[in-house]
Amino acid sequence: MDTRSDRIVEAARRILETIPPDVTLQAAAKTRTLEEVEAVIRAGVSQIGFNYVQESIPIIQTINDRAQWHMIGHLQHNKAKLAVQHFDMIETVDSWKLAQTIDRRCADIGKRMPVLVEVNSGREPNKTGVRPEAVDELVGRMSELEHIRVEGLMTMGPRFGNPEDSRPYFKVTRAIFERLAVKDLPNVTMQFLSMGMSNSYQIAIEEGANIIRIGTRLFGERQ
């Protein structure tokens, strides 16, 4: 009989076979166990995203550099010190104040942190992220920070409903990404466009995503 780990491995391999080679499958591992994360790594997934710093640390410390670790949840200022110690990238920078905090915490340990700016592409009041019209100004200010490197953008889009409904969100984010890419700002390289989740990742890829964050379709429904 298939074990849960076997099912995860099979699901990951199926997705990896159907996405372009230049797109990175990131396992969104919120609430997942060490065994579940080990299973996706065994399947060939090398990038793991976590929403909460405290939850991630025991797993990161066990698996270490067998994977890349991305912070994909809202980062509280009082967790920035731990986040910069353990993560390889923070995808959810959504304010100048948070950018300054990350920069300062990185300076303390001599680290330069790759970050993505989170765009609230639907201008939804209940979601974190920078409004589309404010992204250029924030990235411009962040380009002057010494211990941060802006490497792209991230957006959520709707989590449920018709996947096609997410396309306008992705188009908006892609347009900002392309505009910033030609600005030639110091410490800014538009390399990564992190968009799309389990229900919308195919639309996101069509709209230019090169990181897709998948949880449920990999691991199954949360317990």
Residue identified by tokens 């002057």 is: 144
3-state secondary structure of 105: helix
Question: Residue type at 8?
Answer: I
pLDDT above 90 covers a percentage of the chain that reads 91
How high is the pLDDT of residue 1? 43
Q: How far apart are CA 143 and CA 159, in angstroms?
A: 31
CB atoms under 10 Å from CB of 65, counted, come to 8
Residue 116 has pLDDT above 80, yes or no: yes
Q: How confident is the model at residue 216 (pLDDT cuts 50, 70, 90)?
A: very high
Torsion of CA 88, 76, 123, 154, to 10 degrees: 0
Q: Which residues contact 9 (CB under 8 A, 6 or more apart)?
A: 39, 40, 42, 43
**pLDDT one-digit tens code per residue, 142-196:** 999 999 999 999 998 767 778 899 999 999 999 999 999 999 999 999 999 999 9
**How far from 40 is each of 34, 53, 122, CA to CA, in Å?**
10, 20, 31
Q: How far apart are CA 95 and CA 131, in angstroms?
A: 10
pTM: 0.96
> E strands of 36-187, at which residues?
47-50, 68-71, 89-93, 113-119, 148-155
Q: What is the mean pLDDT of residues 42-47?
A: 97
How high is the pLDDT of residue 221? 87
> Residue 63 region, left (φ>0) first, then alpha (ψ -120 to 50), else beta?
alpha
Q: How far apart are CA 98 and CA 95, in angstroms?
A: 5
Instruction: Give, for 22, the enclosing helix (H) or strand (E).
Output: none
Residue 68 has pLDDT above 90, yes or no: yes
- Retrieve residue 73's tokens: 């949840």
Are the CB atoms for 219 and 8 separated by under 8 Å?
A: yes
Q: How far apart are CA 79 and CA 72, in angstroms?
A: 13
**pLDDT one-digit tens code per residue, 93-112:** 999 999 999 999 999 999 99
> What average pLDDT is seen over the chain?
96
Task: For each of the domains in the chain, give its residue range(s) and CATH number, in order of start.
Answer: 4-219 (3.20.20.10)
